Chain A
């Protein structure tokens, strides 16, 4: 099926959702990503990715409770679905399998 594989940024966002657990909504995800990567994560980009992840069925969302801080607007909280978890695991395993096959990989030596 088209779209089941995970892009690099998608993987990062999905991981962040998982990491943030109950606090995973768009602005928090942006902040967290910025903190991890050191690069600025634009809301526009993240929003689009979140939307895509949801479309692919890797994440799901629900609206939280209203709070006065956001002009009375509710937050949309994301969580990783089962399919999302599987995709994350698979991506991780894939990488590790390749890592394992690298003979005598020496980080210091190569630099």
Chain B
């Protein structure tokens, strides 16, 4: 090689690729001869350059290889044969087929679920006739000195401006959420939530009416459109056109009945009120709701004219924005368009309506599914290559009879695709189970997803099977197609089947690393989750039942409830802390009259005098609320230590802080107590300044009941009947504090379930693969074992010999996986939490140990069987 100068390899490869086989050999020789001459005359570099140029110059019609239809034709004709041999191979190697089909089926079922989810998200709002022309007007809200906000909502003013004939807009409509009232129908009363919508609602959206005229249904004030479901709830029938429903003192006439709304719609309503009713009731009283910068509760949608362009409308919107912004001080509101189809899978907007999934979440899900499928593909690759000894003869015969490389490649690809299709059938069955489980995972999920089959999803399923097959079969196919026919026939043992052992090792390590990462993540994550639930919040949540008041006066209910003997104490609060919701006020503190003072946002809960004792908040100094003032006349305040720290009150000394005055919401409130810091938000938030204000009555808040009972069920029925006596219309909404906390962290439990399930799958697949590898390796080494045995090797020694390699691989996998998981938690997952448990190493190690034990049992049992085999029987057959 070094002796003779060689022409550039790439050029030769190129020549071989394009040149007709008949012309190739002598042409290559000719070029080589010239190359040698040039080397002698002008040097290597020049020669190589000329060689390249010559190769390119020979690219002429008469030298270029003709496309050989025959090769394709034979591929096509051979497909039948491929199927036949594939089938035979599947049946002959039952273990191999079983491992592969099961592994692929299990992993692909996850893939199918992800496809179904994506398919659902892509089908959102597909039922609107004008779906491609509907756009939502969204708002960019910028206050000077604050982070800007992007909102899905707009102002009423926007719609008023759109009415002034914007070119390119065919139609527009406006919605407003938030109507909630008690509907009186005859003698009965029902709580009802509704949405206001203006008259062109049904022109923009396709929500078919079973009764009523869509053009006029929402035109008049006090018009009401019910869905069939609501109509049945209120009247017991859907024949309700023209009837009236009374809210407080106002009669609303039913002008339409809409068909129930499909799941895959981002707009959901039980009833629609005409926007004119909003104008006549709420809007009339509050002029500021029509302001340009009141962008919080309205949603505006437009349909683009058939010949209109988004650019044109956008220009008009920018024009409107800049005109209206002139009236604003230190604030800017700009409008833009968002296509209807982008809503379910689009970017994050505040005040969003309907479900929305972050594309990143979807990518992570798809990535996890991909990793699992890839792991099953590794099994196929590994086992196929391991079995190559058996199949190399077949390939040899095929090649001698005249199969080209491409034919062998095609054959093995076909086989892999066939297996993956077989797996698809099973995985579809698994998918149906998985789908049911997924929909039951959380009560909200069925409201968001249907996961029904559609043409698109079925085609995607098939595409997934094909791609999986091709990925799984690629490496074995390449490996087999490279087998030299002669050496395969001459001496099978001459085939270097262990040549690809490196690749196989890498694949096994990859699989096990993956499994270990999954299991360690699950267990460590679970211990974190348990940690969140049992976190010391700084107060007690034990046996506290929170009842949501529904605008009712609490005093009467309190009296009713206090008669139940198991209820030991009752307090009131405007909210339940530590669940994630937060309410705050700007608080101003002036140490003395001469200083300008300092103001900051302080989180608030409004409570009564029983709240602190029931929740066992620790007072460091001062006392509980002593006065019992009416609403709006309060003067006392209890703060936490962070407030002292933030404002530096009394040199941060709790004793000295008593008696200082804070200005809250226009009132001067005196600090009468300092309590120990507690977790007002979730553990994701840092502890911040919090204050408790006093209030006797919080009609929209909660009652906190301390329950001392051994029989919770009967206590609950007593509470329920007390509630029924008190409020006949609204159902009781009562939850134990601990359950609410669990609920607040439910997304983590959901995530852990998902990851845990994936861990289970990954371990199953990796174990199957390892099992197959052990079986095939021991089988090929059976003779070696027998000879060793004859020569006097002990059984434990043989088991050790066979296991050694695999155990090393597992150890390597563990060495990669455990630190990786630790870093994943330390650097990524737990960075979002201000407070968390230390990462539990024992749990991670425990998980790894279980997986290792499982693997060791498998390896051990198989190798022990091989080691016990009778050498006489094995060696006799030679």
Binding site for B on A (CB under 8 A): 25-27, 43-44, 47-48, 51, 63, 69-71, 73-76
Contacts and interface: CB of A to CB of B under 8 A. Distances in A.
A101 to B, nearest CB: 39
A43 B34 contact: yes
B57 A44 contact: yes
B60 A73 contact: no
Tell me what chain B mostly uses at the interface: helix, strand, loop, or mixed.
helix
Interface string B585-620: 000000000000000000000000000000000000
Contacts of B33: 27, 69-70
20 contacts: A27-B33, A27-B34, A43-B30, A44-B54, A44-B58, A47-B27, A47-B58, A48-B60, A48-B62, A51-B62, A63-B25, A69-B36, A70-B29, A71-B32, A73-B25, A73-B29, A73-B32, A75-B26, A75-B29, A76-B25
Interface in B46-69: 54, 57-58, 60, 62
Contacts of A48: 60, 62
Nearest to B62: A51
Nearest to B6: A71
Contacts of A73: 25-26, 28-29, 32
A71 to B, nearest CB: 4
Nearest to B23: A51
Nearest to A72: B29
Tell me what chain A mostly uses at the interface: helix, strand, loop, or mixed.
helix
Interface of B: 23, 25-34, 36, 54, 57-58, 60, 62
Contacts of B27: 47
A51 B61 CA distance: 12
Contacts of B57: 44
Contacts of A75: 26, 29
Nearest to A52: B62
A69 B540 CA distance: 93
Nearest 10 interchain pairs by C-beta: A73-B29, A76-B26, A70-B29, A71-B32, A26-B30, A44-B57, A73-B28, A27-B33, A73-B25, A70-B32
Contacts of A43: 30-31, 34, 54
Of residues A25, A63, A71, which shows the largest number of chain B Cβ atoms within 10 Å of its Cβ? A71
B28 A27 contact: no
Contacts of B34: 27, 43
B30 A63 contact: no
A47 B29 contact: no
Contacts of B54: 43-44
B30 A27 contact: yes
A76 B31 CA distance: 13
Nearest to A73: B29
B602 to A, nearest CB: 86
A19 B32 CA distance: 25
Contacts of B26: 25-26, 63, 73-76
A77 B236 CA distance: 100
A51 B64 CA distance: 13
Nearest to B29: A73
Of residues B23, B28, B29, B60, which shows the largest number of chain A Cβ atoms within 10 Å of its Cβ? B29
Nearest to A77: B26
Contacts of B58: 44, 47
A75 B60 CA distance: 21
